[in-house]
Amino acid sequence: MSTRSNIAIISKEETKVIYHHCDGYPEGVGAELLDEHLKVLDDETPSKFANALMARDPHYEYTNGRLHGDIEYLYVVDTDKKTLTCYSLDIWDTKCEDSEIINGKCEKIRVVFSVNYKTEMLDNVVLA
């Protein structure tokens, strides 16, 4: 079975949500985002960042702006703060609105790691 994840790319101006069907665990999508994508992409708006990410890797796809129905991990890329935060969740059990989950304001989600993607590598991150 696949480990599904969403990547929410946020700023003060907009939010874009991308879906990744497999390898959504921190050592998969998390490591790929941090080690390959975030370090090489310039400062961009969420739309440009999402488009660049999908151009680099065809496994990413846009959603309708909502979180996918059966994800196990959510990665939030804050382009203003330059942070990547990974949350572990059971999307069916959260009973929270998507915006609450994306903004880390849902009691049913757990932070796995949070890093400054311009200065840290996943190897140095302690997974909670």
Our CA angle for 110, 16, 21, nearest 5°, is: 65
Q: What is the pLDDT of residue 42?
A: 63
What pTM was estimated for this model as a whole? 0.87
The ranges of the chain with pLDDT < 50 are none
Q: Is the Cβ–Cβ distance between 60 and 7 less than 8 Å?
A: yes
Q: Alpha helices of 37-122 — where are they, by DSSP H?
A: 46-56, 98-102
Beta strands in the chain (DSSP E): 5-10, 15-20, 60-62, 73-78, 83-88, 110-116
Q: What is the pLDDT of residues 84-115, one digit of tens each?
A: 899 998 766 767 888 888 888 888 888 998 88
Q: Is the Cβ–Cβ distance between 29 and 7 less than 8 Å?
A: yes
